[in-house]
Amino acid sequence: MQRTLSIIKPDGVKKKLIGAVIAVFEEAGVRVAAMKMKKLSREEAEGFYYVHKQQPFFPELVEFMISGPVVLMALEGDDVIVRNRELMGATDPAKAAPGTIRARWADSKQNNIVHGSDSVESARFEIGYFFAEIEIC
Ligand code: CMP
């Protein structure tokens, strides 16, 4: 059993896709183990994406992530880190496999509806960044 962090980003919330995205996870047999809605502060967004600090898109990414509330979830299931990334599709929606969340609903590499942890180490960091163990069911 593995856990991963999922974020429905401000564009997903604005497009009223919270329910649709959660349905994708639940229909795939992925369990939502923790969930909360939050408007990130600039410091929280910068700290979360610190690995991308040197990237040219970092300032714009931070502005986007604080532009409205996000939905934070800890997902649980067998091999859920890879499975969640399969359900999301590639970062660039133009390259995302048909039927994936990003192929269906994302507008651009930045405005790509969802985030998902990319490794066991980042999942541990990212879940711990937003959730206390006691909040995970
Ligand atoms: P995410 O999976 O949350 O991880 C980092 C985010 O940076 C990514 O999704 C995109 O929202 C954004 N991102 C990655 N590459 C680019 C890019 N080339 N241009 C703009 N934004 C990007």
SS3 sequence of 53-96:
CCCCCHHHHHHHHCCCCEEEEEEEECCHHHHHHHHHCCCCHHHC
Q: Provide the token pair at 4.
A: 């991963």
What domains can be seen in the chain, in order of their start residue? 2-132 (3.30.70.141)
Ligand 1 centroid to residue 134 C-alpha, Å: 30
* Mean pLDDT (whole number) for 94-114: 98
pLDDT value at position 31? 98
Nearest to 24 by CA among 117, 136, 113: 113
The kind and range of the H/E element at 5 are strand 2-8
Closest C-alpha to 1, from 76, 68, 60: 76
Q: Which of 61, 117, 118 should be mutated for ligand 1, with most atoms under 8 A from CB?
A: 61
What pLDDT digit, counting tens, does each position of 12-40 carry?
Answer: 999 999 999 999 999 999 999 999 999 99
Structure tokens at 22: 């959660």
For residue 84, the model assigns a pLDDT of 98
Residues annotated as part of the active site:
115
C-beta of residue 113 within 8 angstroms of C-beta of residue 21: yes
